[in-house]
Structure formats: C-alpha cells, structure tokens
Amino acid sequence: MPYISNTDDDRRDMLRRIGVDSIEQLLDGIPENLRLNRPLDISALSEMELLFEVEELSRESHDGLTCFAGGGVYDHFIPAAVGSIISRPEFMTAYTPYQPEVSQGTLQVTYEFQTHICRLTGMEIANASLYDGASAAAEAILLAVRVTKRDKAVISSTVSPLYRQVIDTYLAGRGIELVYVPMQDGVTDYNRMQDVIDENTACVLVSQPNFFGLLEEVERVIEPAREVGAKTIMAVDPIAQAILKTPGEYGADMVVGEGQPLGIPVSFGGPLLGFFATSKKLIRQVPGRIVSRTTDVDGRTGFVLTLQTREQHIRREKATSNICTNQALCATAASVYMTLMGKQGMRQVALLSGEKAQKTYQQITSLDGFRPYFEAPFVREFAIKTPEPASEIISALTDKGLLAGINAGRWYDGLDDCLIVAVTEKRSEQDIARLVEGLKERSTSGVMSKM
C-alpha cells in the first residue's frame, strides 16, 4: 500500500485528482445543518501509543464479576458445543449471504434459525436476523408506517430505553410522530395508551417482559390498536418466551427481540443479534433477507435466498430497508443453541431462572431498607427499592466481585433508588448468598452502624 502523506501539497493534489478545488467543495452535497461546525476533539496517537492507552483502560475493567445485571443482555450458560461448532472454518469465515446460490450449509443454518424463531414466537415467518433487537424494533415501526400509510407510533415507556434511543435516532427525519406512553406501577399506563391510540396510529410497541422484568397485560394494548387498524409490535425475550404465551397467541402483528441470550456471550454488550418475525401477508415488507427451502430439478432438498429487500438489490424507491447484512455468525450460534437445548431444555432454563429469581427476590426484600419497587409478576428480572442510590450500591458491590444489577435512574427520572436485578440459571446458591450478604451490608441498619 503506498504511503499517504498529510502535507498541504499532497492534499491539494488529491483534491485535484478527483476534480474539486477544496474540501468545502467536496462537501457541497451535504446540507449545512448536518455538517460539524467545530474541529473534532481527537488526539493523534501512534499505533503503539494507542495500544498502551487501550491496555490501560482494560486494567480499569473488572474481570470475573458474578453478574446479576440484565436489561436486555443476560449471563446464561452456553454449552461448549456452541463455540466448537461455530468455530469451524465454514461457519466462522462465512460472511452474510448475498447471493441466492451461496453455500448450502450457510443457507440451511439460516433457515433453521428462522424456523426456531417462528416456533418460539408463534409467528408464520422470520427473517435471517438483524443487527440487534433495537434496530429490529425500529424496522418494525417503519414497516407498520409503510403498510398503514400512517405516521404515528405509540410506544410504551417500559420498552427498553436502549431500544427507544435507537428508535429515536433511526427514525429521525422520517416525519414519524413518536408518542411515548408513561408507565404506572412499573407497567404501561393502559388507560393513557388507549387515549393516545387513534385513527392516525400506525403501530403500538410493547415489551413482554418489560425493561423492569415485569409482565405486561398485552391484551390491553392489542385490543385498542386492533380497533383502529394499527399494527401491534411485541418486543420479547427469547428465554422467557419458552414459558410465556406466544405473541402469535396474543394476535401480535410483528415480533422483535434481542437474541443474545441464545448462546451468545455477554462480551461487554456485543455483538448482538436481532430477530424479526411476522405473518405471511407482510412477507414482502420484511427488512433484510429470507432463506427458503425448495427442491432442485432432481427432487433434492435445497436452500435458497429468496427475498432481499434492501436498496442495493432492487430499485431504491421500492426498497423496504437499507439493512445490508445479517448477524450470520451470531444467528448460527443461536441456531446451534436452540437445537441443542430443544423445547424442553429452553423451558427448563426459563423455569430455573425464574425459580432462582423468586428466591433471590424474597431474600433481598426481607432485608432492612430493601423492598419491592413494583408489585406486578416477573420472570427472571425484578426491581428493588434501595435505601441509598442504586449506583452507589452497584459501585460498592463491584469491589466485592459482584455486578449487583443496573441502575434504573440512569434512564428514568426519580428512580435513582431502583435496582434492577436479573437472575439466570447460572447463579448458584453461593452466588445469591454473596449478593444478599453484600446488600445486607448496605441496608439501613448496616449503613447506620458504620456512622
């Protein structure tokens, strides 16, 4: 690769070669209001200096924490076979399928992933995956806007704030009105939601379970939406789905979610895996791509990439999405996980997590100064009212090797004393006892004894 200098003469030469006189002329196609009007606050570092800085940052991280944090990414057990299978070169090196005739093995795995998601959600079709649950939710809203020809989306405030941040960014400039319905006692304010749903509503988005781990009364969301012809989108947790009523049984139009719990490591929050499922009547509006099973001229079973709706493949004005890839390796991991676990195995994971969560909840709420924040039922994640800011508790217990949960006040005003705790099948009795003991030291009596 030729050496590229940064001198003024070299820059002018490069501009001249592409037919422009200045950097400003090069940027003429970008509207003024979208341009950065200040210098970037970036310090130039050599490769060696950058490596030293990253290593220094890594030393500030806490390794080996026992994790009780959730909020969409969960520390579930991953069978060793998952890593072994996806590490095979035909999976590890295979990029996302672009061509219909791509490797049959890659296409078959993607087809199996779609099949598992359909069975898990009770829907008719699923795509080959998206970047993450948040972008899948944003794509579902865009689909609803297209098919209803309406421009209003009603979203429960109990949907993950991380999803809502992505939705805000993803839909900016689209002319879509986003209406966030407040919560009441940790779940959607159903009366308020019914008030804001009208004839201009394209869709309603609700989570099951919601960000606080609580179960929503989904029927009270779907019924008013159906009355005005709006689409219903459910954001679901795939592990909880093994024991809950499926979105298909509720009558939801679209289902999205984060597939990380399906055999994908926590990995500091990524990469993630978005899944998207819906009904056959919406198949040509689904973002991304779909793999189907067919037979060749000799009657042998084969797999083929059938629907690709991104703008690079069809006329731009007809494209339903600009999604240009799917999380092929993560989808493969999820397929392997769901195949290994099977229906009963996934159900057992959900039941074990729920059982341990209930025991942890009872022990924590028996401590002085700790009590339930909400009363609605939950699966494996719950909210606790703490005697001091949740952020301080998290910080104190981190030094003891425990990631105690997440601070709801980071996203919700007035909930600085709300600690959201997630318990999975991986958490042993000893882990739970350590968490309870750590919280006991932070209880009202424990704090007072230190004063």
Indicate if the alpha-carbon torsion angle 201, 164, 380, 442 is positive or negative.
negative
Render each residue's pLDDT in the chain as its tens digit; 451 residues: 344 445 677 778 888 888 888 888 888 888 888 888 888 888 888 888 888 888 888 777 666 789 999 999 999 999 999 999 999 887 877 666 566 666 788 888 999 999 999 999 999 999 999 999 999 999 999 999 999 999 999 999 999 999 999 999 999 988 999 999 999 999 999 999 999 999 999 999 999 999 999 999 999 999 999 999 999 999 999 999 999 999 999 999 999 999 999 999 998 777 899 999 999 999 988 988 888 898 888 999 988 888 765 545 556 666 677 676 678 889 999 999 999 999 999 999 999 999 999 999 999 999 999 999 999 999 999 999 999 999 999 999 998 999 999 999 999 999 999 999 999 999 999 999 999 999 999 875 445 444 4
- Centroid of chain to Cα 269: 10
pTM of the complete model: 0.84
One-letter amino acid at 311 equals: E
Strands 418-422 and 381-385, by their bridges, are: antiparallel
Indicate if the alpha-carbon torsion angle 357, 383, 363, 428 is positive or negative.
positive
Distances (CA, A) of 353 to 149, 346, 356: 42, 11, 5
Measured between its terminal Cα atoms, the distance across the chain in Å is: 65
CA distance 97 to 428: 40
CA distance 275 to 298: 34
Residue 80: Cβ within 10 Å count: 7
- Domains by residue range for the chain, with CATH: 66-72+342-444 (3.90.1150.10), 80-338 (3.40.640.10)
**Would you call 352 helix, strand, or coil by DSSP?**
helix
Strands 231-236 and 254-258, by their bridges, are: parallel
